[in-house]
Amino acid sequence: MAEKLKEIERSAQEVIDSFVEAAKDLPELKETYYSQETFNVVRPDGEPAPEKERTEFRKRFISNMPGSDDKGNLRVEVARWVER
Amino acid sequence: MGRTLEKLESIRQGELSAVDNVWRALENIEKLDKKINSFIELNPNAVAEAEAVHRRLQKGEKVGRLAGLVIGVKSNINVTGLRATCASRTLDNYVSTYDADVVKRVRAEGGIVIGVNNMDEFACGSSGETSAFGPTDNPAAPGHIPGGSSSGGGAAIAAGLCDLCLGTDTGGSIRNPASHCGVVGVKPTYGLVPRQGLIDLGMSLDQIGPIAPDVVGAAMLLETIAGKTQNECVMFDVDQVEYLDRLGDGVKGMKVGVSPKFRELTDPAVMGVIDRSVDKLRDLGAEIVDVQLPNLERGLTAYYLIVSVEFFSGTRKFDGRRYGKKIEDVCGDEVLRRILRGRYISQKEYRGKFYQRALQVRTLVKQELMAALEKVDVIVGPTVPKLPHRFGAKLTPMEMYAYDYLTIPTNLAGICGGVVKAGEVGGIPVGLQVQGKVLGEPDMFRVMHVLEATA
């Protein structure tokens, strides 16, 4: 596993190195974070979803929890540094 | 007329019921998909949903434009009640709690979601080999990779297992499998289609788009899913789009760009097929114009830096605490490689050494493409620089990334790109890519339609 991880790290580094090489002669430019600057970034608040949809959402949402107690509450890992 | 319109017409005329269409798809999947492996999960309610469409048709009620068509959805798009696994063990028990906006739109138009398509794990791949649910075969060239990451969608359409598919494209993930499988695929302009409900790979690059057996099918599906919604803020202020009405306008008088850079980067056999298609466009009245894209290939490594940083950021929620498993504990090599690379770049990002520099290269590639598209209506060229490899071939990560040389620039610039089959080399399909301007889908579809008709 350690060997495999080392190989993955090496190939990750290879891409970075080849990028640095490919970009070394290029001019300084403004960075492009998103391809367009004319997006509709202001949006109104929507109507809440119908009651039935919200109830089913909650049921499904809870079913994805990794652990729950007998009342359906989310059971989470207690951090190691917490004193009990 | 084409496969999609014929199917729609026969459903509307009552020659084929929506229910029979679903049953046929299920039978074909049962018969053929054990070998192809293009679906991860099927929708248990598909027949009931088809019955509802059928009843509306029988009563003469108005139905949507996709009424009765069978649709596959890539496994990184949420479909209520079905698992959105991203083909990873990280989310193998994660059941979607809601429909993505694109899925809501498909359902509103009468489309029946038949199931969830296989893909490269978390969309990190160009071959269809990295899924935790096993690789997908290429029905158009058995034993070869189907391309990726929307491998299941490309293969399902090529095998006729469903009518249309929704894929996603971050650096070529719709266009690459469309090319290898000999089908039609479109990466829409960034910001045209809502990404709400998509489990992202790179948020500044991802777009959801259609995979179809023909250009009409792709245009119809894109008409269905495009347009602004209040659930998505990174979008153009576009309400509705129309592509079908201009599909048959031909290419006479259009300016079509070709770049000598494509020949430098592409296998001569693949380029030969593309050259013949360019000749056809010239014969049909298009003006062929040389355009210069001198830094096109520099986009490749810049893309892999940008996408790794965005992927690293996007996957921090997969910590195994609220749902699923911790991603680093169960993911495959390529996913881990991108996470480690993204983490490394984020840690070392001082004085704009890597990420900011990659964003500058993105600007350069975008500027060159935009300048070229000021001179022409579309740019045509190969989609993938080489033919798909056989399963079992060992490729280094850099060799694998090289599949994406010609598709990545479209995502970096945020423009649209569509793929249509141009021919074959030794029985393996070769797709031609048509790149259009920002919101230039009408011209892109026109050229694709002409090429499809002359293929």
CA B191-B84-B306 angle, to 5 degrees, is 45
In angstroms, what separates the C-alpha of B305 from chain A's closest C-alpha?
Answer: 7
Alpha helix ranges (H) inside A1-84: 2-23, 51-63
Q: Among A37-51, B154-168, B223-237, B339-353, which is the least confidently predicted range?
A: A37-51
As a whole number, mean pLDDT of residues A6-18 equals 85
As a whole number, mean pLDDT of residues A67-78 equals 77
| pLDDT computed for residue A43 by the predictor | 63
Alpha helix ranges (H) inside B64-196: 101-108, 151-158, 175-181
Residues of chain B with CATH 3.90.1300.10: 3-246
- Give the pLDDT band (50/70/90) at residue A84: low
Average pLDDT, chain B: 95
**B354 closest CB neighbour out of A16, A31, A38:** A16
Q: CB of B175 within 8 A of CB of B168?
A: no
Buried b (16+ CB within 10 A) or exposed e, B194-222: bbbbbbbbbbbbbbbbbbbbbbbbbbbbb
Per-residue tokens: B327 = 């991603």
pLDDT tens-place string over residues B380-435: 999 999 999 999 899 999 999 999 999 999 999 999 999 999 999 999 999 999 99
| pLDDT computed for residue B178 by the predictor | 98
Share above pLDDT 70 across residues of chain B, in percent, rounded to a whole number: 99
In angstroms, what separates the C-alpha of A30 from chain B's closest C-alpha?
Answer: 6
| pLDDT computed for residue A59 by the predictor | 83
The answer to whether A12 contacts B320, with C-beta atoms less than 8 Å apart, is: no
Chain A positions in Cβ-Cβ contact with residue B191 (cut-off 8 Å): 35-36, 39
Question: Cα dist. B42→A78, B82, B110 in Å?
Answer: 37, 8, 18
The answer to whether B94 contacts A64, with C-beta atoms less than 8 Å apart, is: yes
Q: Among A77-81, B6-10, B268-272, B316-320, which is the least confidently predicted range?
A: A77-81
Q: Is residue B26 predicted with pLDDT exceeding 90? A: yes
- Give the pLDDT band (50/70/90) at residue B189: very high
Q: Any chain B CB within 8 A of the CB of A50?
A: no
Q: Is residue A61 predicted with pLDDT exceeding 80? A: yes
- Give the pLDDT band (50/70/90) at residue B446: very high
Q: Is residue B144 predicted with pLDDT exceeding 60? A: yes
Is the bond leading into B308 cis (omega within 30 degrees of zero)?
Answer: no
Q: What is the CATH number assigned to the segment(s) B3-246? A: 3.90.1300.10
Q: Which residues of B are catalytic?
A: 74, 149, 173
- Highest mean pLDDT among A64-68, B74-78, B342-346 belongs to B74-78
As a whole number, mean pLDDT of residues B377-382 equals 98
In angstroms, what separates the C-alpha of A70 from chain B's closest C-alpha?
Answer: 17
Average pLDDT, chain A: 81
The ipTM value here is 0.81
- Across the A:B interface, residue pairs with CB atoms under 8 Å apart total 148
| pLDDT computed for residue A44 by the predictor | 66
**A32 closest CB neighbour out of B323, B362, B415:** B362
| pLDDT computed for residue B364 by the predictor | 96
CB interface of A with B, residues 1-40, below 8 Å: 4-5, 8-9, 11-16, 18-20, 22-23, 26-36, 38-40
| pLDDT computed for residue B95 by the predictor | 95
Give the predicted TM-score (pTM) of the model.
0.95
CA B35-B37-B38 angle, to 5 degrees, is 135
Residues ≥6 apart with Cβ < 8 Å to B221: B66, B71, B106, B164, B166, B210, B212
Q: What is the number of alpha carbons within 13 Å of residue B239 lying toward its C-beta? A: 0
The answer to whether A36 contacts B236, with C-beta atoms less than 8 Å apart, is: yes
Q: Is residue A37 predicted with pLDDT exceeding 60? A: yes
Q: What number of H helices and E strands is found in chain A?
A: 2, 0
Q: Is residue B350 predicted with pLDDT exceeding 70? A: no
Chain B positions in Cβ-Cβ contact with residue A41 (cut-off 8 Å): 233-234
- Give the pLDDT band (50/70/90) at residue A40: low
Chain A positions in Cβ-Cβ contact with residue B302 (cut-off 8 Å): 19, 22-23
CA B123-B129-B135 angle, to 5 degrees, is 110
Q: CB of B171 within 8 A of CB of B307?
A: yes
- Residue B141 to residue B182: CA distance in whole angstroms: 9
Chain A positions in Cβ-Cβ contact with residue B324 (cut-off 8 Å): 64, 66
- Where do the structural domains in chain A lie, given as residue ranges? 2-63
As a whole number, mean pLDDT of residues B110-118 equals 98
pLDDT tens-place string over residues B193-249: 999 999 999 999 999 999 999 999 999 999 999 998 888 888 898 988 999 999 999
Share above pLDDT 90 across residues of chain B, in percent, rounded to a whole number: 92
In angstroms, what separates the C-alpha of B359 from chain A's closest C-alpha?
Answer: 5
- Identity of the residue numbered B424: E
Q: Is residue B300 predicted with pLDDT exceeding 70? A: yes
Q: Is residue A78 predicted with pLDDT exceeding 90? A: no
Q: CB of B189 within 8 A of CB of B439?
A: yes
Q: Is residue B351 predicted with pLDDT exceeding 70? A: no
